[in-house]
Structure 1
Amino acid sequence: MSETTVNEPSPEADVVQRGSFALTVRRLRRDTASMAALCVILAVILLAIVAPWVAGITGHSPIEQFRETGLSPAGIPVGPGAEFWLGTDQLGRDVLVRLAYGARVSLLVGVFASMLASLIAVVVGTTAGYFGGTVDLVLSRLTDLVMSVPFLLCALALVSAFGPSLALSVVVIVFFSWAPMARVIRGQVISLRRQDFVLASRSLGAGPLSIMVVDILPNLAVPIIVYTTMQIPNSIVFEATLSFLGMGIVPPTPSWGGMLADASSNSLYLVAWWLIFVPGTALLMTTLAFNILGDGLRDALDPKSARTVRRLRRQPKAGTKP
């Protein structure tokens, strides 16, 4: 009588025991570009968190002007050195400290505005797609109206009426950000409301709000997460654009867009390259990192996407040599 091996693990055992979150993290960790982008984002977040510590180490506040040591006798900003690690600007202020505090503004506006825009888009898109009819017609025309309004023209009008501020920047960014996502959500809900699980919930007496929140919304998690992640760099660029044009953060509060505007005034960057290189590189790397991470999240959350399929096909099969 042949002996049988007891408790021999099945080849599929570890896969079966993994949840969807664990599988998503596993796919994301295999994406080198996404991991590099995540490191850049964490570095920017760390820079924003330790901004007061950076100011304490250097002994420079973000608005303090060093006319004697931060400017040359000809009034030219001092380049990177032992006292000012990334140089000074046209007023003798420390660029490193202003860069750290500017990261706080960019991340605050980017994350908060993106989340608020996504919330509005989910509410409008879900409501329009589920109810249809007159509700869909009104909300769809509202979405078209928002998307047809010129961004800069509206921003100029609002700033002229209320004056530049951080709150106004967030309002303008949210106003121009929610409409595209609302269209996507509406289309997804229209296809989901005809599914059997929605019809079953409706036949059991579930109300519209319960169906939208319990049955439909979980199936929209992937587009919501991906869109919100990829909307953050757009919000950061919007804020930088408004600050560059003098319609965003009020000076002397540091922001990356304001630093770029200061560098471009009087062509100062021709004699002080760091004034445009430092904030420009930070803005470029941050927005690029969020975009790459958004692509990686899309592929990790949706295993049927083309990139994920190609990556899995290149991996060696079980029982074969790599």
Structure 2
Amino acid sequence: MTGEIKQRSSFELTMRRLLSDRAGLVSLSFILALIAVAIGADAIAAITGHSAVAQFHDIGLTPTGLPVPPGTDFLFGSDQLGRDVMVRLAYGARVSLSIGVVASLLAALIGVTVGLVAGYFGGWIDGVLGRLMDLVMSIPVLLCMLSLVAVFGSSLALSVTVIVFFSWTTMGRVIRGQVLSLKEREFVLASRSMGAGHLSIMVTDILPNLGAPIIIYTTMMVPTSIIFEATLSFLGLGIAPPAPSWGGMLAEAANNSIYMFAWWLVLFPGLALLLTTLSFNILGDALRDALDPSSSKHRLRKKPSKLVEAAS
């Protein structure tokens, strides 16, 4: 008697493929741990007794005025002002993750809206929105940021605004291309023939079929936003000091070549940036493979079993 075949939903199949990706699980674990560090930054500061801006000139600097290397008092060492590098890294994680996630979500929202409208209506609307995306992509980022900082001053809100303004075009182009192919499908033509309105077709028929690319590209926009913020902070255009950020910590280490005497000032912020961006990129690849069962990765996994079946 043959066993009963259990039917699995698309969500169950997606989760099964995602959980079988070891690299994706490791990346997800690191991201969750980083989120826990960012949320618990206040607890870390309380446990160590060091705030992110407190300067310990007596125990945080050597008699010659150099930073203290990693040890019992400062696990990740101190910086040139005697501040705890580990505590500043934790608060920097909060800044980088908040900017990366918020900016990516806002950029995705704008990009999806513009791409959906441009791809669905086409014609002159597509032309105008397409030229708008070209215009945004042609604006020099640093010149724009310098002008805004000169007028409004450095702030977290300004960094998010600039990142969103220059990031939504990527999502817009991707969604536009997807909508151009989806709007000619049979289910869209059937809804149109039944008298459904444009908004109803876009929201109920086309948008649900864009879930996979939206999730994937939003995930992959997070590391780009984090690097964007770190670059702005490194150039002095990000959040105003003494608020900690990974890019700002690297910039402070580069001043007066202090990193030549204190390697930890470059190693730990740089490693945090590298591992964070790498983890989000690997997670984005894992989500792409999990949401797309026809990907090459799954085809390669199935190939040996097919050969065995053919041999038998």
Shorter-chain TM-score tier:
over 0.9
What is the match of residue 89 of structure 1?
79
Matches of 2:138 and 2:298, distance apart in 1 = 36
What is the match of residue 292 of structure 1?
282
1:227 and 2:217 are equivalent in the alignment: yes
- Give, in angstroms, the shift of residue 65 of structure 1: 0.5
Matches of 1:46 and 1:204, distance apart in 2 = 50
Comparing 148-157 with 129-138, greater Cα deviation is found at 148-157
1:303 and 2:293 are equivalent in the alignment: yes
1:67 and 2:57 are equivalent in the alignment: yes
Secondary structure of the residue that 2:131 maps to in structure 1?
A: helix
What is the match of residue 258 of structure 1?
248
> Unpaired runs of 5+ in structure 1?
none
- Give, in angstroms, the shift of residue 258 of structure 1: 0.6
Out of 3, 7, 14, the position equivalent to 1:9 is 3
* Matched AA of 1:198: V
Matches of 1:115 and 1:263, distance apart in 2 = 31
How many residue pairs get aligned? The number is: 310
Q: Deviations over 1:256-308 (max 9, x none)?
A: 01111111111111100000000100010000000000011001100111122
Q: Deviations over 1:95-129 (max 9, x none)?
A: 01000010000000000000000000000000011
What is the match of residue 100 of structure 1?
90
Matches of 2:59 and 2:37, distance apart in 1 = 25
Out of 45, 50, 55, the position equivalent to 1:55 is 45
Matches of 1:312 and 1:103, distance apart in 2 = 40
1:129 and 2:119 are equivalent in the alignment: yes
- Give, in angstroms, the shift of residue 196 of structure 1: 1.1
Matches of 1:266 and 1:57, distance apart in 2 = 32
Out of 157, 169, 179, the position equivalent to 2:169 is 179
Matches of 2:218 and 2:304, distance apart in 1 = 30
Q: Deviations over 1:181-231 (max 9, x none)?
A: 111111111111111111111111111111101000011111100000000
Matches of 2:274 and 2:87, distance apart in 1 = 19
1:201 and 2:191 are equivalent in the alignment: yes
What is the match of residue 45 of structure 1?
35
Out of 238, 247, 259, the position equivalent to 1:248 is 238
What is the match of residue 158 of structure 1?
148
- Give, in angstroms, the shift of residue 314 of structure 1: 4.2
Matches of 2:3 and 2:16, distance apart in 1 = 21
- Give, in angstroms, the shift of residue 316 of structure 1: 8.1
**Distance 1:263-1:198 versus aligned 2 partners, 3 A rule:** same
Secondary structure of the residue that 1:60 maps to in structure 2?
A: coil
Matches of 1:118 and 1:288, distance apart in 2 = 20
> Unpaired runs of 5+ in structure 2?
none
Matches of 2:40 and 2:89, distance apart in 1 = 11
The sequence identity of aligned pairs, in percent, is 63
- Give, in angstroms, the shift of residue 311 of structure 1: 2.4
Matches of 1:57 and 1:316, distance apart in 2 = 56
What is the match of residue 270 of structure 1?
260
- Give, in angstroms, the shift of residue 312 of structure 1: 2.9
What is the match of residue 270 of structure 2?
280
Matches of 2:122 and 2:31, distance apart in 1 = 40
TM-score, normalising length: structure 1: 0.93
Matches of 2:222 and 2:242, distance apart in 1 = 24
Out of 222, 226, 229, the position equivalent to 1:239 is 229
Matches of 1:292 and 1:150, distance apart in 2 = 29
Secondary structure of the residue that 2:177 maps to in structure 1?
A: helix
Secondary structure of the residue that 2:283 maps to in structure 1?
A: helix
Matches of 1:125 and 1:160, distance apart in 2 = 33
Secondary structure of the residue that 1:176 maps to in structure 2?
A: helix
Q: CA RMSD in A?
A: 1.5
Matches of 1:319 and 1:9, distance apart in 2 = 20
